[in-house]
Structures are given as C-alpha cells and as structure tokens.
Amino acid sequence: MITVGFAQNEKTNNESMPLSAPVFLGGTKAITLTPVVGTPRREYAERFIPGEERLEDGELRVTVLGSGNPWVTRAQASASILVEVGNAERDILVFDLGSGSLANYASLKLSVNKLNKVFLTHLHADHMGDLLTLVGSYAKVGRADGPVYLWGPSGTEPRLGTQHFAQAIGEALAWDTAASSGPINPESMKIVASEFDFRKTHVVYEKNGVNVTAFPVVHSLSGSVGYRLDFSGLSFVFSGDTLASWPLVKASKGGVDLLIHECFPPAAALAAASGLSIERATIALNAAHTSPKAAGKVFSLVKPRMAGLYHTLLSVEVIPMIDSELRTVYDGPVVQTQDLTVFNITKEAVVARQAKVSDQLPPTPGEPSMAYKPIQPTPPAWWADERIPVD
Ligand SMILES: [Zn+2]
Ligand SMILES: [Zn+2]
C-alpha cells in the first residue's frame, strides 16, 4: 500500500525524502530521516531479525515493546521498553509493561526465564497491564527460577505506592497461584517489590555494571518517575509519562546516547484519531503529557545522540503533524518509534531499525538455573463423581 506523505519502503535516507511508512501500512524501516548516528563498527542488516544477531560485548540494545498508550491496538501495545545489556550476564531489564507488550517480547525469541526485572515509571494501567501475565502466565511458560523483581515509586500515601500495588497484584493472583503451585515452582509466582522515594533523583539499581537512576517527572499525580540507565559509558533515558520537566534534563547531564520521551499529538488530532471529545483530549495533553513542540524543546536542552518519541496513537495524519511541529524547535535525529523499533547503541554509533518477526511465535522458555521437580496436584474429592469417564 502506498500512502500519500510517506516514502515507499525501498527509498531510504535522503533529506528531501518523506518519512518511512509505519509497519501497519507496510513500512519496514524506523520512522526517521536519520536512522544512523555516527559510524557503526559493524554492518547491521537492514532489518533486525530475532535470533540472528548477537548482542556484542559493551553494546546496549533497546527495543520498543509498546509504543502506544491506553488505546491498545493490534499495531501498538501499551507502553514498554526493553533493554538488553552487553555485559557478561546479558542482563535484560524492562521499563514499564503495558498491555500487549509481552506478545512483542515473545516475538524476539528472548528467554522468558530471564525476564524478571521490571521498572515501573508509574501505576497507570497502560504502563503495567501485562504484569499479571508476567507473574501468572509467564511462570507457566518458562519463568521458572524465582520471583519477578519490581522497582517503582512511592506515592503520597502508602496505598498509592508500588509496594501496595505489588501486594494487591499478588492477592489478585491468589487463585492462579493456588491452582498452579506444584506443577510449577511457587517461588516463580511471587513479586518482590522495591519501592523508592518518587521525589528524589537517585540510583535505585546497581548490579553487573548496570546503574539505574530514577528521577521525578510531572504527570497526573505525584508518584511518577523516569529512568536513566548507564552501562559501560553508554546511557539511555526513558521519560515515562510526563509534561516537559527539569529533573529529566538534569538527570541527562553528561550526555545521553538515546532519550525516549513521550509525545502526544495536538489535541484535535488525538480527538479525531481516538474518538475522545476535544475537551477530554485537551485536558489529557495539558495536564499530563508532552506536545511535539515541548518534546523538541526537551531534546534541544538534552541534546541526545538519538531521540525517540513514544506514547502516540499513530496514524498517517499524526506522524507528519508531530514531525513538522517538533521541527520548528529541534533539528537533531528523532525517531517516531513504533512497536519493535530497535536501537543498537555503541560508542561508535546509534542505529535505529525495525524488527521483522513472526506473529505466531510462542514464548521461548530459556534455561532454568535450578532444577524444579513438578508435583502432581491432588484433585478435589468431588471431581470423582462429576467427571465423565472416557473409557
Ligand atoms: Zn501512559
Ligand atoms: Zn500515565
């Protein structure tokens, strides 16, 4: 399909060229005019094919699992960003886990058993909706070794904080946990939450050469944060949801290789795309989110090597609208991310591509680090009378 305003797939990086079409219109490239910043030390295939490209030592690979927002579509999962770290452990960290993001994770052929570190920016459901799936279902499909470790901010009172949220999710999974313990390791259905003060900029995670720093952001209600990840001289900053705000700029000091910042289209465009009233769309934008011009302003203050936008219900109208408004204040490299936009970050370069994946790949269990002997559960006594004999 060819759409007015977008380039055909085979056309590439050229300043006069319009942006690539989104994947849901047949595009194959990251939506940007600058997919490569710097000079890569190796050649990257045109598309990222899961399982065919190993992460190099010292490299960071950042993949957008969910580029969207509360309007979950088949094209866009709710908010989630995956970071694969090129340390000896090949650690995997995920920032937010919105609905649909785990289906995208499965498509990457990465081990389910390694996905046990989740950093939440805030407790809006479009940033944590797949946590039930990770704790409950993913324990059945390979997350075998132990709990999900969850980091997240405090609230202005205990019931608004991450600790309370994690306990409540655990309670909500009472039936699933009781029903599944035995056949699967009950330890793998637990959540271990680390709640930290939302008001401070401070290191909340430090292991295997990876540091994660949380900083406050301005979004909806006190108790929202963004994160900065540092590894081997490379850095990635994720805004979560926010209005343009200073703590992110300050936390980005010293240079940032990739900054993924949220961005909403103008209220009229959001209303047209989503069916919201113009009043609701205006309130959502002004009270909680970043306009394209404001995102451009943040980028001009931070000057990241590569910038990315997310949290937008993408459409053929919205993409060029965001780009042209942002370009009035910023002319550096910017990617309008979509699901499965992949960034490879090295000292030499930052490269943005789209992954090419199968739609029907089940999650890859991975190797358990400890043996667990499944136990056959004892059926309830009343089943004996109610089951229909087959033979
Ligand atoms: Zn959100
Ligand atoms: Zn939010």
Per DSSP, 136 falls in state I
Range of the domain at 35: 23-362
Residue 10 has pLDDT above 60, yes or no: no
Where does the pLDDT of residue 274 fall: very low under 50, low under 70, confident under 90, or very high at 90 and above?
confident
What's residue 9's pLDDT?
43
Rounded to 10°, the helix 267-274/318-326 angle is: 170
Report the separation in Å between the CA atom of 240 and the middle of ligand 2, taken as the mean of its atom positions: 8
Report the separation in Å between the CA atom of 78 and the middle of ligand 1, taken as the mean of its atom positions: 8
Domain membership flag for residue 283: yes
Domain membership flag for residue 2: no
Domain membership flag for residue 371: no
As a whole number of angstroms, the distance between CA 184 and CA 187 comes to: 9
Domain membership flag for residue 14: no
Ligand nearest to the CA of 79: 1
Residue whose token pair is 């203050």: 301
Q: Is 367 exposed, middle or buried (0-12, 13-18, 19+ CB in 10 A)?
A: exposed
From residue 86, give the alpha-carbon distance in Å to each of 53, 56, 59, 231.
Answer: 13, 6, 5, 9
Report the separation in Å between the CA atom of 223 and the middle of ligand 1, taken as the mean of its atom positions: 13
SS3 263: coil
Ligand nearest to the CA of 313: 1
Report the separation in Å between the CA atom of 381 and the middle of ligand 2, taken as the mean of its atom positions: 47
Per DSSP, 108 falls in state T
Domain membership flag for residue 374: no
Report the separation in Å between the CA atom of 124 and the middle of ligand 2, taken as the mean of its atom positions: 5
Domain membership flag for residue 378: no
Tokens of 128: 């944590």
Q: pLDDT digit string (tens) for 111-166?
A: 999 999 999 999 999 999 999 999 999 999 999 999 999 999 999 999 999 999 99
What's residue 6's pLDDT?
52
Number of domains in the chain: 1
The CATH number of residue 215's host domain is 3.60.15.10
Domain membership flag for residue 90: yes
Q: What are the DSSP calls for 7-69, one per residue? A: B-TT----TTSPPBPPGGGT--S-BSS--EEE--SSPPPSSB-TTSSPPPTT-EEEEEEE---
* Average pLDDT estimate for 292-312: 98
Q: pLDDT digit string (tens) for 27-50?
A: 999 999 999 999 999 999 999 999
Domain membership flag for residue 68: yes
